Every structure is written in structure tokens, then in C-alpha cells.
Amino acid sequence: MAKKVLALYYTQTGQLADIVDQFTAPLIAAGASVEKLNIKPVNDFPFPWKSEVFFDAMPESVKGIPVELQPFSFKEEKYDLIIFAYQPWFLSPSIPATSMLKHEKVKQIMRDTPVITLSAGRNMWLNSQEKVKRLLADAKAKLVGNVALVDRHHNLVSVITIMHWAFGGKKDKYLGIFPRPGVSDEDIQNASEFGKIVLPYLQAAEWNGMQEKLVAAGGLEIKDDIMFIEERAGRLFDLWANAIYGKPGRAFKLLIYKYYLLVALFLVAPIVLTLNFLVFQWFFMGRNARQKLYYAGVTLKK
Ligand SMILES: Cc1cc2nc3c(=O)[nH]c(=O)nc-3n(C[C@H](O)[C@H](O)[C@H](O)COP(=O)(O)O)c2cc1C
């Protein structure tokens, strides 16, 4: 019997659709039946973004407030594997991704089913993956693998280029000198390699050892400096979201948040990272190594 695979995703730019296509190609070539479902909100987020709309997505992203999704249905009642492909927004799963994971139909189909998460973000996916892990656990899904593709350029370079992409709508070189934003074409093509790794595990319906293989093949990378920023920024984003969501003065507070974010990224983060590199990291080497191992895995901290 052909294995049944469901790939659920949302994408604004098409990047994640290309990655899902590459990832699933080896499964299809081996005879698996792969159903790909691009699920959209009833009121979709506009792309390219306008600045106010972009930052306005922060509180709901961080607090995991779902939106209504366009109607969808599954061909099968049960799948051998579900690939949940998503993008981080503000260190959280995007609002459409959260909406899927909180949708009764998705929770039902995921119950007791192996799930592989496949994300494509700028470079900060650790907090969002923790939130996704929790939502999968709520749905009683079995997370068996995770691949996280990112923009490999320097953190600040990727902030500039993603803004150019998000606000201009084109995945091209800003001013002709910056690199192209997002996941590189090479990494998108290479996503098929991860599909090849998954194939024998799908065929055997036995997932032990797969995540280690995906990590060894470059399915994700955890950098010390990004981990350092994310662990602190996640808590600060919670404070901002709580101060804004459902409270008066939303537009004004979001304007302040926008400038806070720019100052935090371009001024505070480089200083703090330098201090961490020179001083703090030496005291936390064991802890950091343990954290990295945890983030590279598929278990959820109690
Ligand atoms: C509102 C917004 C917030 C984002 N926040 C993050 C983030 O916190 N971390 C990250 O790695 N990427 C972030 N990104 C990049 C996206 O994860 C994604 O890679 C990019 O928007 C491509 O979109 P697509 O998958 O919808 O085609 C953000 C993008 C948007 C539009």
C-alpha cells in the first residue's frame, strides 16, 4: 500500500511552496501519495506588506490568536505522515500557521500521527518551534522530525534584505548590492535531500534516529549568537504583546515597538552580543551546549 502523506502549509511569497515541493519530491518518486494543501485565511495578509500592517501582526502572532481559515478538506481520514510547513512571524508561528494548528479539523487529523515540521524563516525559529511543539502536543500529534531553513547571511544583512522583500514584494538584490533575501535557491533545491532521508523511515513507519540524520545533513543549524538573542527577545516580545493586545493605544504602542525593534536589532543586539562573546559565554558553555541539543531535537520540555 502506498504511504499517505499530507503536507500542510501557508506561504505569501511562494518560497515555502517551493520547499515543500522539493522536500516531497523523493517521496512522490518512491510512490507515496502526497497531498499538498495550501491553507489561507479568509482575510489573507497582504503581500507586499505595508509597514503598519506588518507590525500590527505582532501581538496576535506572539499571543497565538487564530484567524478564520478558508474552507478545506482532506482526501484521507488518516495519514502515515503529516508535513507541517510554516514560517516564523515575530518569533512565533505565523498567524495562519497557528490558526491551522488550533483548527479542530487539523487537530483531529494530526492526532496520533507522525508530524515533521519544516520551517523557512529569516534566521530566528527557536521560539516559534517551541510554540509549534506545544500546539502539536495539544493535538496529540507525534513530532518526529524538524527541518528549519534560514537565510544564511549575517543577521543584520538579512533584516535589511527581508524588509526589502516584505515591503517591496520582490526577492531580488536590494540596491543591486545586498544579497537576495530569504532561503537561497541552492538550499531550496537541496530540500529534496531531507525528503530522501525521510523516505526509509516513512516506509518502515519507524522514526527513531531520523532527526539525528536530518541534523547531520544540515537540516537545521543553531548559532550561539542567534540563540542568545532569541532567548531574551522571546520574553520581551511577550511583554510587548501583552501591553498591546486588547489594550488602548494600539497604533501608538505599535509605532514605539517598531522603533524599539530597530534599535534593539541594530544597536543593542550587537553590543550585547559582543559582551556575551567576550565575557558571559564562558560561564554558560555547558548550559548553552545542552540548550542547543534540546533545540535540535523533537522533544518538548515539561
Ligand atoms: C510579519 C513577519 C514577521 C517575521 N518574523 C520572522 C521571525 O521572527 N523569524 C524569522 O526567522 N523570520 C521571520 N520572518 C520571515 C518569514 O518567516 C518568512 O521566511 C518570509 O516572510 C517568507 O514568507 P512565506 O513563507 O510566507 O513565503 C517574518 C516575516 C514576516 C512577514
**Looking at ligand 1, which residue's alpha carbon is closest to its atom 19?**
121
Is pTM, for the whole model, over 0.85?
Answer: yes
pLDDT at 57: 98
Give the pLDDT score at 241: 98
Low-confidence ranges of the chain (pLDDT < 50): none
The domain locations on the chain are 4-221, 227-289
CA of 87 to the centre of ligand 1 (A): 6
DSSP, res 43: S
Go through 78-95 and write b for each residue having 16 or more CB atoms within 10 A of its CB, e for each that does not.
Answer: ebbbbbbbbbbbbbbbbb
Q: Determine the Cα–Cα distance for residues 292 and 223; give it in Å rounded to an integer.
A: 8
Q: Are 96 and 45 in contact (CB under 8 A)?
A: yes
Can you tell me the distance from the alpha carbon of 129 to that of 117, in angstroms, rounded to the nearest whole number?
Answer: 8
What pLDDT is recorded for position 280?
Answer: 87
Residues making up the chain, counted from first to last: 302
Show contacts of 250-257: CB within 8 Å, 24+ apart: 250/56, 250/59, 251/52, 254/52, 254/55, 254/56, 254/58, 255/55, 257/55, 257/58
Give residues (CB < 6 A) around ligand 1: 11-13, 15-16, 54, 57, 87-91, 120-125, 162, 166, 182
Pocket probe mutation, ligand 1, options 87, 126, 160, 226, max atoms within 8 Å of Cβ: 87
Helix 224-244 / helix 285-296 crossing angle, nearest 10 deg = 70
Pick the CATH number of 4-221 from 3.90.1150.10, 3.40.50.360, 1.20.1560.10, 1.10.287.3510: 3.40.50.360
- 121 CA distance to ligand 1 middle (Å): 5
What pLDDT is stored for residue 1 in this prediction?
79
